Structure 1
């Protein structure tokens, strides 16, 4: 796989899974197997990102990427009343775990400061999620880091804008993806926040309208699926859910246990945990709170104490069980074994 100055032997990428799952150990293991891992900068302070990158660089000399969230505008409208009503509905869970809901707030992702830190390190590529970084930011990455820029997109319109801003590659995220959708605008009027385009459909559409490499992302579970997406024009395939139960991942014990538990039978797109559309295993929390207000990251901060307490208690019913539609294929074990299986299946062909 080649994107500008980046060359990776195996066209398999481990998605940047913020909040714990994507660790330096996991990124290093994927790199050692010939793929590309992403470190997630989302939610981290600039100082924490510096520490994470430094740890990875102590572990590995292979290429790696760093993904940054874009803060976006603060939500408009009657935020306080809507969020307070949601907080009131969370009281039973909060009382059960002996915690109080968190304080709703808007948080800055400190993109400028994080880019300053990355300029002191050596990522091979930088990507952005939740919007258009714009020409100024993309030009800064090119100038100060000298590496290509990828942007997560979910539609043709987003793709065209990203390319116009100077993106060197696109991560085409389909509706099947686990965790937060990469939508630039999470539409409150849409049950799933936006278009329901599948990964394969989006890849086929984008390779016809843009002149930059396209990375497929969402619901990819095996080498055959990777091969089909490469045949459709993608240069690589990005998998997240498949890596969640790898030994090197930082996924919580109840989250991994739920992924391997046959009693969980479905995924859905929900705003219940963060106020932003994200795909999770259906559990008690998603069933009790189907109408969360579309206010991210306010709701993320509100639910965090409950989710943290539930995780500590081993209660999968009250945490965000991010998972793509192909979660049934998840297995536990070393990332090297998963990479070997995926690569073998890919090389075996259809």
Structure 2
């Protein structure tokens, strides 16, 4: 925990790095200003956009914050037949929004090396990553710049590998977590507290619990189980400063407990969100990142036209405990008056 102590946090809560415009500079700064650690989800941004967003955060706060990217990984091979099948399956949904037929773009993801270089030069207090491991050279470069590193694991096996790599802390993502599963090798889909307890017995580095933590009571339970800090995303989806679209907010407010599902339909990678037309009808998604690129026009049009049935409504299992409020108010509720260095 010594490495994280230098962040000077007054709350044990880290904002989950929600990519896709949810973790706006305003939200990141608001959480950091209130004593937590704001996190900028930058995985889908160009290097130029990352630079601009980091500058925007720094224009709003002098407190520490994190920047998150998806770790580099081998891009799977797909056949023309697979692409055609995925496009055909998506075509009726495009037609429902008067969009042109779906077509896989030539570029399906941003270049990690270019993104990473921008983050390295900007030198935020923390760099976090998901979907894999970093090469030793990258970890050494971050350390040389004084940047703390946080990896993401969905199993004890992955957490142990990250510890052997030399990260400063690890996020343990339980099965209740919303959004993409951050692991890469073995996903146990274990409960958050069970995962934290197991890691507490075998890891020597700081543990950050994630998944289903929507109340002060849940945060306290995670800390009691052995977590040093917690990471919350769904709890901030309806924050005033969040970039959550109006139809997304309305869907969260209207849905009932038990309406989340694990799906690959939107991105080709397993993620938890509210069940809707897309999760029910798309059964032959391409692997990530191809499916993510293929469904981007649908998701953009759905947000613009207030059609939540076509949106990726990422949310953890306990989303129903969320509410509309400022980020500072939500952080105070989660913190429950308890300080953590």
State TM-score, norm by structure 1: 0.91
Aligned to 1:189: none
Give the CA deviation at 1:163. Answer: 1.2
Equivalent residues in 2 for 1:36-75, closer than 5 Å: 36-75=37-76
Larger deviation: 102-111 or 246-255? 102-111
Q: CA deviation at 1:21?
A: 0.7
User: 1:264–1:105: structure 2 CA closer, same or farther, 3 Å change rule?
Assistant: farther
The gaps in structure 2 that reach 5 residues or longer are: none
Secondary structure of the corresponding residue to residue 183 of structure 1:
coil
Question: In the alignment, does 2:239 pair up with 1:246?
Answer: yes
Alpha carbons of 1:183 and 1:79: their partners in 2 closer, same or farther (altered >3 Å)? farther
Deviations 1:25-71 (A, max 9, x none): 00111111110010111111111000000000011001101111123
CA distance in 2, matches of 1:62, 1:223: 23
Aligned-partner Cα distance in 2 for 1:2–1:25: 28
Q: Show the counterpart of 2:29.
A: 28
Q: 1:135 to 1:247 in 2, by over 3 A?
A: same
Structure 1: unaligned runs, 5 residues or longer:
187-193
Q: CA deviation at 1:122?
A: 3.9
The 1:257/1:65 distance shift into structure 2, 3 A limit, reads same
Inter-partner Cα distance in structure 2 for 1:2 and 1:330? 32
CA contact (8 A) 1:71 1:108 kept: no
Does residue 97 (structure 1) correspond to residue 89 (structure 2)? The answer is: no
In the superposition, relative to structure 1, how do residues 235 and 182 fare at CA in structure 2: closer, same or farther (>3 Å)? same
Match of 2:213 in 1: 220
> Residue in 2 aligned with 1:191?
none
Q: Which residue of 1 aligns with 2:304?
A: 312
Give the aligned length: 337
Aligned to 1:281: 274
Question: How far is 1:245 from its partner?
Answer: 0.8
Query: CA 1:150/1:47 → structure 2, altered by over 3 Å: closer, same or farther?
Result: same
Question: 1:67-123 CA deviation, whole Å, 9 max, x = no partner?
Answer: 1112311113x5432232121011111112121324155645433323332233341
Q: Contact 2:219 / 2:335 at 8 angstroms: preserved in 1? A: no
Deviation, structure 1 residue 124 = 1.0
Corresponding residue for 1:333? 325
Which stretch shifts more, 326-335 or 96-105?
A: 96-105
CA contact (8 A) 1:71 1:109 kept: no
TM-score when normalising by structure 2: 0.94
Q: Secondary structure of 2:202's partner?
A: coil
Higher deviation after alignment, 291-300 or 96-105: 96-105
1:256 aligns with 249
| Structure 1 residues 141-182: Cα deviation after superposition (integer angstroms, max 9, x where no partner) | 111x21211100111111111111111100001111101011
